[in-house]
Amino acid sequence: MAKRPVDLDRLWVRPGTKAGLSSRDPADTHGINRSGAEKALERQIEDLVRLQHVLYAERRRSVLLVLQGLDAAGKDSVIKHVMRGLNPQGTHVTAFGKPSGEELDHDYLWRCVRALPRRGSVGVFNRSYYEEVLVVRVHPEILADEGLPPEAGGDGIWDRRFEQMRSFERHLAENGTAVVKVHLQISREKQRERFLARLNDPAKVWKFRLEDVRERAFWDDYQHAYEEAVSATSTDYAPWYVVPADHKWFARLAVAQILVETLDALPLAYPQVPEDELPRLEQARVELEAEERYSTGASSAASRMTSSSSKLP
Ligand code: ADP
């Protein structure tokens, strides 16, 4: 296992404590520089690949990484860089945007339940059910259009939703899904720069949405909603990490390390071959070795035929 360069304790929100977002620095890099972070990322990815291999072979557990952050916090870029190298058969990324009509016809967890990773897989939620206590809290008119029965809304709804999320995550954890949650925290100034960069780059302008700029007017409301949500739902079984994301290279390294440590904490093991299967495996080995000698002979016979036929006029 490679060294763990990021001090994850500083990013972790200890259960029962406040996230303290306003006192965290989104530009923090824990004294690591860009080239150091890029090299360290490669080593974390190597560890991740090894651990994913066992997770996949064992097929008993899964890992769910929930990624939340404001627009331009770098969620897509973290996914692209951290997941590269992993076996695509054992990973599943789902992005959650505005709910469709069909999704609104169900409770808010429904679409997320359908996207949960299967045993042996790493699932990533690019946004998640947490939007229900973030954008929906900042814009109560969204809640009014969710079609809820009156008793499901009203006073205390955010605390009830926090409780529902904790219960949901406890259920997942107790049934073999390790849940880990990351809030990519960017500064207001960095978001402005990234929006401008999108506008000024033909390869990025497709990502630009005027609505995202309008949301900046609600910056403080989002900070408050994140503070409340992260503080209320960081638990032993589904912890939150607040990752400084003004430097994308630091955020990628931190998230890779969070995933490595999450997988490493699981009691993963390759499936054991039962003792009484061993003679049959030995038999298979003998048969395969014999077949290899046979096919080598067959292919040289085939090549002799080809070379002799090539001599025909
Ligand atoms: P992104 O901005 O992450 O690249 P999209 O533009 O497709 O992706 O969609 C994200 C938008 O959908 C965000 O503005 C987000 O707040 C909104 N959204 C996500 N979940 C919900 C929800 N449950 N209710 C309302 N809006 C949501």
- Compute the distance between CA of residue 249 and CA of residue 9 in angstroms, rounded to an integer: 19
**C-alpha of residue 40 to centroid of ligand 1, in Å:** 32
pLDDT of residue 20: 98
- With the most atoms of ligand 1 within 8 angstroms of its CB, the residue from 76, 79, 98 to mutate is 98
Atom in ligand 1 nearest the alpha carbon of residue 146: 24
What pLDDT is recorded for position 308? 42
Q: Cβ distance 190 to 73 under 8 Å?
A: no
Is residue 153 within 8 A of residue 86, CB to CB? The reply is no
Q: Which residue, judged by its Cα, is nearest atom 24 of ligand 1?
A: 98
Q: Taking residues 205-214, what's their average pLDDT? A: 92
Q: Cβ(73)–Cβ(193) under 8 Å?
A: no
Residue 252 pLDDT greater than 90, yes or no: yes
Closest residue by CA, ligand 1 atom 13: 97
Strand order of the β-sheet with 122-126 is 91-95, 122-126, 62-69, 177-185, 240-244
Nearest CA to ligand 1 atom 21: 98
Give the pLDDT mean for 130-155. 95
Structure-token pair, residue 197: 């960069």
In the structure, what pLDDT confidence band is assigned to residue 299 with cuts at 50, 70 and 90?
low
228 lines ligand 1 (CB under 6 A): no
The verdict on the CB of residue 98 being under 6 Å from ligand 1 is yes
pLDDT score recorded for residue 300: 52
Average pLDDT taken over every residue of the chain: 93
For residue 181, the cross-strand partners are 66, 240
Calculate how far, in angstroms, residue 212's C-alpha sits from the geometric centre of ligand 1. Answer: 10
| pLDDT recorded at residue 310 | 40
Instruction: Please state, in angstroms and as integers, the Cα–Cα distance from residue 34 to each residue in 25, 85, 157, 186, following that order.
Output: 17, 20, 43, 17
Range in 40-44, 47-51, 306-310 with the lowest mean pLDDT: 306-310
Task: Copy the structure tokens of residue 65.
Answer: 């990484």
The residue-averaged pLDDT of 18-36 equals: 98
pLDDT (tens digit per residue) in 78-125: 999 999 989 999 999 999 999 999 999 999 999 999 999 999 999 999
Other Cβ atoms closer than 10 A to 113: 12
Give the count of beta carbons closer than 10 Å to the beta carbon of residue 67.
Answer: 26
Write the residue with the smallest CA distance to atom 8 of ligand 1: 97
End-to-end CA distance of the chain: 63
Amino acid at 203: A
**Residue to mutate, 125, 127, 194, 221, ligand 1, most ligand atoms under 8 Å from C-beta:** 127
The confidence score (pLDDT) of residue 9 equals 97
pTM of the shown model: 0.92
The closest-lying atom of ligand 1 relative to the alpha carbon of residue 207 is 4
pLDDT digits (tens, 9 = 90+) for 123-136: 999 999 999 999 99
Asked if residues 67 and 78 have their Cβ atoms less than 8 Å apart, the reply is yes
Distance 142 CA to ligand 1 centre (A): 12
Residue 180 — left, alpha, or beta (φ > 0 → left; ψ -120 to 50 → alpha)?
beta
Residue nearest atom 12 in ligand 1 by C-alpha distance = 97
For residue 177, the cross-strand partners are 62
Q: What is the pLDDT of residue 292?
A: 72
In sequence order, what are the residues at sequence separation of 6 or more whose Cβ sits closer than 8 angstroms to the Cβ of residue 216?
Answer: 188, 191, 192
Determine the distance from the C-alpha atom of residue 229 to the mean position of all C-alpha atoms in its chain, rounded to a whole number: 19
- What pLDDT, on the 0 to 100 scale, is given for residue 22? 98
261 C-beta closer than 6 A to ligand 1: no
Residues 312, 23: Cα–Cα separation, whole Å: 84
- Pick from 71, 106, 131 the residue to mutate for probing ligand 1's pocket: most ligand atoms within 8 Å of its CB: 131
User: Phi then psi for 12, rounded to 5 degrees?
Assistant: -70, 140
Q: Is the CB of 215 under 6 A from ligand 1?
A: no
**Is the pLDDT score of 311 beyond 50?**
no
Q: Kindly state if the Cβ of 169 falls inside 6 Å of ligand 1.
A: no
- Asked whether the predicted pLDDT for residue 1 surpasses 90, the reply is no
pLDDT digits (tens, 9 = 90+) for 163-195: 999 999 999 999 999 999 999 999 999 999 999
The least confident of 117-121, 259-263, 298-302 is 298-302
- Please name the residue whose Cα sits nearest to atom 25 of ligand 1: 98
Average pLDDT over residues 57-81: 97
